[in-house]
Each structure stands twice: as C-alpha cells, then as structure tokens.
Structure 1
Amino acid sequence: MLARVAAAARVRPPERTGALLSATLVLSVGKGAFLATVMVYLLQIVGLTPLLATAGLTLWGAASAAVAVPTGLLVDRGRGRAVGSVAAVCAALLVPLSARVHTPWALLLVLCVAGGFDSAGNVVRRAMLAGAGGDSVKALAWARTVTNIGFALGALCSVRLLASRSPSAYETAYLLIGGGYLVMAACFATTSLGAGRRGSPSVRAPGVVGARSLRTGGALAAATGILTVHTTLLSTVLPLWVTRHASVPVSVLGWLVMLNSLIAVGGQLAVSRRAATREGALRCFRNSAVWTAGCCLLLGLVRFAPTGWQVVLLVAATIALTGGELLEAAGEWGLSAVLAAADEHGFYQSACVLGETTQGAAGPLLVAGLVTAAPVAGWIVLVAVLGAGRYIAGFTTPPPHKAIAIDS
C-alpha cells in the first residue's frame, strides 16, 4: 500500500505540458464558480424567467457545439495558437460583460457568443495536449483531473457569492473569472506545444478531412454525445430523482457529489492507462455504457425501496455513474488521440467537444423529461439508448482490413 502511495506521488504530467495544465487549473476554478452561480444570477439578480434563464444556458451550449468542428479544422491548418489566443481574450471580455448587461435579449446574445469563444479555446487546448507528443492520453487525463479539481474549488468559492445576492459582487467575481481566460490566452500565445503545426507530413492539404476520418470522427462525435449522458445524470437527473422519488434528506446530494468528485479525481489517471492503445480505448469507451446503464437501473429501483435501502442504492448508483464517467473519458481521449494523424488532432478533438456540448445543451431537457414523464419505462429507454451508443462506438475503429482498403 505504501509503495502505491509513493508511486502515485512520483507521477508527473507529460513533458512540456506543465504551463498549459497550470493555466487549465486557473481557468477551471473560474469556470467552476461561473457554472455554479450563473443560473442563480440570471434568476435572482437579472430577474429572468426560468424559461429565459434556461434559454441562455442552452444558447451557450448551442454556440459551443456550432464552433467546435470549424475551430478544429483551423487548428489543423496550423492556426491553433492564434485562434486560441483570440478566443480566450474575447471570452475574457464577454464573461465580465454578462454581469453588467441586464437587458434580456442582449444578455442572451452575450452568453451565446461567450459560449462559442469558450468552446473554441477548449478545442485548441485539447488539440495542443493531444499533439504534444509522447503520451497524449496521459496529457488529456491530467487535463481532466486538474479541471475536476478546479471545478470543485470554484464551486467552493461560489458559496459566498451565492449568499451575497449582490450585483456588485457578481461583477467583481465575473471580472476575476475573465482574468482566468487571460491567463489561458497568454499560455496559448507563448506555449511551445504545436497542435496542427504547419508543414506536418500528410497526403492531404492541411485542414482537409478525408472520407475515413469523417466516418470515424462522426461516429466518435455521435457516441460521445450519447455516452456523456453521465454528466446529465449527475447534474440534473440525480437531484431531480432524489427530491421527487426518494425519502432521504436532500443533503445526501452533497455527499453523493463529493463521492463522485473524490473517485473521479483519484481514479482518472489510473483508468486512462487502459486506453493507451486503440483496442484498450475502444474497450473503455464501450464498457462505459454498461456502467452508466447500471447506474440508470439502480436509480430506477430507488422509488420502490425503503429509506435505508434508498441510501444504499444511491451510493451504488453514484459509484456506477463515476465508473462510467472514468471509462468514457479515458476511451474518448484514447480514441481521439490514436485515430488522429499528426495534422488531425484538431478535427478529432473537435468531434469530441461537439458530442459533449450537444449532450450538455440537449441532454438535461431530453433525459429529465423522459424519466419524469415515464418513471419506469424512461429508465429502460435510456438503457437502450446507451446500448445504441455502445454500438455506434464500434464504428470509430473499423477492422484493420477495412481500414487498409479505405486508405489505399
């Protein structure tokens, strides 16, 4: 046991990724605080209706999905550093502006455009890490780990902001969050990592995606959009289910989220080692559907159990959900890294971001509506959808003899 602890203490991120990972941590603290407070800000400070407030976050997600692939293609044309720097600077201006604009239509426009620039920077950052050389899966796993830590710290920092109910406090906080984007912009401008560098050896013109890449990238985006339903389950469905169909105290939610965070932060790097090869990454990606489906079935049983067993089922469901999260993330990074040629990291990372942001924009409404309208059949349908995602994931890696025929 002591040997394992000592070995874990010696784990280091891949060479030359330290600056980008540090900037990721700083930005994640700010984004964690922003995501934890923006809905309350829109409802309590601005005074938007729940429908308009939800529309603002939906527009953020829709813009994020819309810019993902175009940004990835620009990265593959050697323009990653410039695009990332401009996107981060624009986001640094727009996030603080959202705390000053209180006209509903103007505020929705600001959130929409800010979401697009935030997504563009995310694609560039991921592509730079994936194209850093060496163990790109490990680099992406480190990024996810520091992001989880940053989000947790940001959520803690948001407690006093939420309690203040002060417009000026939100203005100050969102100004500081904008500073995190400026740190990322400076990192993009000065980093030695080269995603999509000019002159990368390729049989295609830079930024032109081949038919095989379109097929595998499309399958990766579609499967990611389905298999990342674990984010919707944790953020939306679990609170809804506990408050409406369980007799346990609502405070249990805090412990469940903490359990998820502890397992995710502690296990992400270890699980990512299983995704270092194409076969291992695909296995992780597809097996994540099994774990997430197990979570769905356990949550479906909660409403039929006595209070004591409800706690057991909720804990087991959270563990299963986190297992699905870890496997999905590792498989997603592994596939996006091993499938990409030297000048395709932008495209494959943008495919992943497209799937994630589509789930983030549409998932809460669709999944929560499904299990609310049909508390029993809804979970069965969701398990079937996860099975479809597992099936689609298989198309990301065609059999070797087919891949040779396509490439020849």
Structure 2
Amino acid sequence: MSTEPPFADPEAEEGESAAAQARAGLRVRLGALFGRDDPVLGVLVASTLVATLGRGLSMSLTVLYLAIVAELTPGEIAIASTIAAIGGICASYAGGWLADRVSARRLMVVLVIVDAFALCAYVFVGDLVLAIVVGLIVFTAGSGAHTAQAAIIARAFAGPTRIHARAVLRTVTNIGIAIGSGGAAVVLVLDTPEAYRTAFVVAGVLSLGSAFVLARLPARVDAGYGRSAEAESLAPVRGRNPWRDPRYLAFAGLSAIFGIQFTVLDYGVPLWIEHETEAPRVMVSVLFILNTVIVTAFTVMLSRGTENPRKAGRVFGIAGVLMGGACAVYGLAAGAPLWVAIVALLIGGVAHAFAEVLSQGAGWGLAFELADPASAGAYQGLVGMGFGVLSAVGPPLLAITVLSLGLVGWIILGAMFLLSALGVLLIGRLAARTWSPA
C-alpha cells in the first residue's frame, strides 16, 4: 500500500525541496566563510566572537563605571586611560617579539586569561591607583594577545587565505562588539553599582571562555613548528629586525597616520556635530550604526586580492581619495541648514566607512606580504604599536585642526589622509616588482 498522501502536490514538494536545498547551501557557504572547515580559522572565529561579546560590554561601560561607581574625576580617568594606553603600545611590540620566540598559541592563551581576571578585578576599583593598575593590565594583556593573534594568522595562512582570515575575524569582531554593546544598554537602564560590577564579571567570564577555545589551536601556528629541538638549538631561526627595515617602517608609519580615521569617527565627528552643525545629536549614533553595517557587510568582499602588493597599494590609494572626500563633506555640514547638514554627514559617513574597509584590507595585505616570515610577530607588533601611538596623538591633532579651524581644518586633515595613502600606494608598487605569490 502506498504511504503517499492522497492529495500530494508534486509542485509544492519540489518547491519545498528547492527551498531546503537553498537553506542547506546557505549554511554550507556561511560555514566555509567563517572557517568551519579550517581548524585554525574556526577556533579563531569562535574565540573572537566570545571575547568580543565581553569586550563590547566592558568597552561601553568602563568610563561610566569609573566615574559613577568608582567616583573618579574626569582628570583621574584621563590619567588612568593614558597610562593604560601607553602600556598597550609597548605590549603590542613585546607580544609580537615573544610570539617569535615562544609558543604564540600558549602566549595568547595566557594573555587572554590574564585579561579575563583583570576585567573581573574592576569590581574592586574604588580609587585612582587601582584604576591605573587594572586598566594597565587589561590594555597590556589585550594588546599583546592581539599581536600574538596576528602572528598566528601570518604563520597559519598564506596569500589570499590570510587576508580572508583577517577580514572574517574583523567582521566577527564587529558583530560581537555590537551585540555586547546592546547588553551594555541594559546595564545603563538599570544604572546600579551591582549591574555595572556584574557586567565586568560577565565580560571576564566570556574572556576566560575564549581562552579555553584558543587552547584548541594546533601546534603548526607556532614559530619553528616542524623543526626538532636539536636543529633549533644549532641553527635557531631568527628573522630580520623590523626596526632595521626602512620600507616596513615607512609603511607602518603611513598606515598609522591613516589610522587616525578611527579617532575622527570616535572623537572628531561627535564633537563636530554637537558644536558646529544644526544636525541632531542622534546623528552620532546613526553614523556609528552606518559604519558598523558597511564594515560588517563589505570587509570580506572588498579585501579580496590585497595579498598582491600592487593591488593593495591601489586599493589604499582609493581609500585615501574617499577619506579626503569624507573630510571635505563633513566640513560642509557646519552652518548649513538642518537637512543639508544631515545629508552631508550621511554622505561623509558612507565615504568614511568604505575608506575604512578598503584601507584595512589593503593594510593587512601589505603588513603580511612586506614582513619577514621568520619575524612575523615582531613585524605585526610594529604595525600595532604604530596604530597605538597615533591613537593617542589623534585627539589633540583633531583639536588643533577641525575643531579649531573648521572647514579649513577638515581640508588639511583630508590632505593628510590622501598623502599618506599615496605614500602607501607607492610602497605597494615598488614592492610588487620583487613580489611573488605564496
């Protein structure tokens, strides 16, 4: 006897089957995109997502916690933040240097565990000294772990797969921070000391969870993998010192200058909207959301092919043009009618977001391809150190340009971005003459 329903619709069944196949195909594509079939990328994606959930939660609350719960003054918070940032700058290079000499995966696990306990330690902060100590540990451990991760990526992947891995991790980072920031909103609504302290404990637990995930990384991500201890002792692999590589120093400096674009969005644009335009304050949130959506949606796509130095240089040049244009458009919002200011800010925000996507993808390609593979950690640490230094320089630079000179200041800033990008373009073209695909 047939078990088929008496009124089965063959066309409906075919439609359901096609939909099921489409869903399965989407799952396969997403799984491949986020490293389900790669043991290294899969571990890094999972650990990054868990860690950035906590990072989004703690980042959004740290300053308010220090001000409201720890009762520090704005000046004391600035002192603690500056000292922590200096520690992070030093740890960027130190983490990479160590990753070339000891197990990068074990180093990263240890640093993430230290970061986890330091985040939990915020619940004990009630004065300036503890704020400095805890903040310094958090920034130092986080910066060192980030550089160790870059060294792992440099060794575990090659060519386009390396850029793809970095782009995927950047996308996952944005997603995790966005979700974590949403959790911070709940804490802000509750607005109690207990809610703030609970948030830091949760962030610490998430960071600790990411360390357990990282422990699953295979040994091949470490420097010297495959060489016997005897061979390593007789002829240790020590690559070139990045401080003696003029081309890489020039690239690191120029890309760090361009990295001030992040300070523009975090610091310059909010103050510009508040003091110089007719646009409502909500535009600050709108621009942040717009930036997050564009970076999340286009980073993987637009970073393809940037392992080729010539293409990477060209892409960085395009980013310079977009960033220069974004600065000019931001400047035009001052004194303009409400609707003109809003449109100008939106156009500037879109150009700025795509400049970020393109410059990051191109920067990853050059940072990896121009580096000596035997000193991958030190080279990536130098790049991270440059970004840290310019992050500290960014706010005063914006204060003496855009916030003091208005449109003229924006034009000066835009010219700086354009010139630094053209410098990277030239480095990419020169490097392409001797480059060969991995």
Residues in 1 aligned to 2:320 and 2:29: alpha-carbon distance in whole angstroms: 28
User: Structure 2 stretches of 5 or more lacking a match?
Assistant: 1-21
Report if aligned partners of 1:295, 1:321 keep a CA contact under 8 Å in 2: yes
Residues in 1 aligned to 2:190 and 2:248: alpha-carbon distance in whole angstroms: 45
- Displacement of 1:119 after TM fit? 0.4
Residue 48 of structure 1 aligns with an amino acid whose one-letter code is L
Residues in 2 aligned to 1:374 and 1:132: alpha-carbon distance in whole angstroms: 47
Residue 87 of structure 1 aligns with an amino acid whose one-letter code is L
Q: Counterpart of 1:48 in 2: which secondary structure?
A: coil
Residues in 2 aligned to 1:195 and 1:69: alpha-carbon distance in whole angstroms: 19
Residue 81 of structure 1 corresponds to 105
Report if aligned partners of 1:74, 1:207 keep a CA contact under 8 Å in 2: no
Residues in 2 aligned to 1:183 and 1:274: alpha-carbon distance in whole angstroms: 34
Residues in 2 aligned to 1:171 and 1:231: alpha-carbon distance in whole angstroms: 29
Residues in 1 aligned to 2:244 and 2:328: alpha-carbon distance in whole angstroms: 35
Instruction: Give the one of 388, 394, 401 matched to 1:363.
Output: 394
Residues in 2 aligned to 1:150 and 1:213: alpha-carbon distance in whole angstroms: 37
Report if aligned partners of 1:75, 1:195 keep a CA contact under 8 Å in 2: no
Report if aligned partners of 1:72, 1:348 keep a CA contact under 8 Å in 2: yes
1:28-67 deviation per Cα after TM superposition (whole angstroms, max 9, x unaligned)? 1111111111111122222222122123222222211111
Residues in 2 aligned to 1:125 and 1:161: alpha-carbon distance in whole angstroms: 30
Residues in 2 aligned to 1:287 and 1:389: alpha-carbon distance in whole angstroms: 12
Q: Counterpart of 2:100 in 1: which secondary structure?
A: helix
Deviates more, 1:307-316 or 1:82-91: 82-91
Residue 250 of structure 2 corresponds to 219
Residues in 2 aligned to 1:128 and 1:286: alpha-carbon distance in whole angstroms: 28
Report if aligned partners of 1:196, 1:345 keep a CA contact under 8 Å in 2: no
- Displacement of 1:94 after TM fit? 1.1
Residue 220 of structure 1 aligns with an amino acid whose one-letter code is F
- Displacement of 1:177 after TM fit? 0.8
Give every structure 1 segment of 4 or more consecutive aligned residues whose post-TM-superposition deviation is greater than 4 Å.
5-11, 199-202, 210-213, 394-398, 400-404
1:90-109 equivalence runs, <5 A: 90-109=114-133
Residues in 1 aligned to 2:431 and 2:415: alpha-carbon distance in whole angstroms: 28
Residues in 2 aligned to 1:332 and 1:37: alpha-carbon distance in whole angstroms: 30
Residues in 2 aligned to 1:374 and 1:401: alpha-carbon distance in whole angstroms: 40
Instruction: Tell me which of the two structures has the higher relative contact order, counting C-alpha pairs closer than 8 angstroms and 6 or more residues apart.
Output: 1
- Displacement of 1:241 after TM fit? 1.0
Residue 229 of structure 1 corresponds to 260
- Displacement of 1:399 after TM fit? 2.7
Alignment partner of 1:149 is 2:175: yes
Q: Counterpart of 1:344 in 2: which secondary structure?
A: helix
Residue 258 of structure 1 corresponds to 289
Residue 272 of structure 1 corresponds to 303
Instruction: Give the one of 148, 151, 166 matched to 1:127.
Output: 151
Report if aligned partners of 1:264, 1:322 keep a CA contact under 8 Å in 2: yes
Report if aligned partners of 1:92, 1:179 keep a CA contact under 8 Å in 2: yes
Residues in 2 aligned to 1:248 and 1:328: alpha-carbon distance in whole angstroms: 28
Deviates more, 1:185-194 or 1:393-402: 393-402
1:88-109 deviation per Cα after TM superposition (whole angstroms, max 9, x unaligned)? 1111111111231211122112
Go from structure 1 to structure 2 and tell me whether the alpha carbon gap of 1:195 and 1:367 turns closer, same or farther (over 3 Å shift): farther
Report if aligned partners of 2:115, 2:207 keep a CA contact under 8 Å in 1: yes
Report if aligned partners of 2:112, 2:142 keep a CA contact under 8 Å in 1: yes
- Displacement of 1:23 after TM fit? 0.7
TM-score by length of 1: 0.90
Instruction: Give the one of 381, 384, 389 matched to 2:420.
Output: 389
Residue 141 of structure 1 aligns with an amino acid whose one-letter code is A
The structure having more radius of gyration, on CA atoms, is 2
CA RMSD in angstroms, aligned pairs only: 2.7
Deviates more, 1:9-18 or 1:236-245: 9-18
Identity percentage of aligned residues: 25
Instruction: Give the one of 23, 46, 59 matched to 2:47.
Output: 23
Residues in 1 aligned to 2:33 and 2:148: alpha-carbon distance in whole angstroms: 22
Instruction: Give the one of 22, 37, 46 matched to 2:61.
Output: 37
Residues in 2 aligned to 1:214 and 1:194: alpha-carbon distance in whole angstroms: 27
Q: Counterpart of 1:99 in 2: which secondary structure?
A: helix
1:57-68 equivalence runs, <5 A: 57-68=81-92
Instruction: Give the one of 173, 178, 188 matched to 1:162.
Output: 188
Corresponding residue pairs, total: 401
1:310-331 deviation per Cα after TM superposition (whole angstroms, max 9, x unaligned)? 1110110000110111011101
Report if aligned partners of 1:227, 1:288 keep a CA contact under 8 Å in 2: no
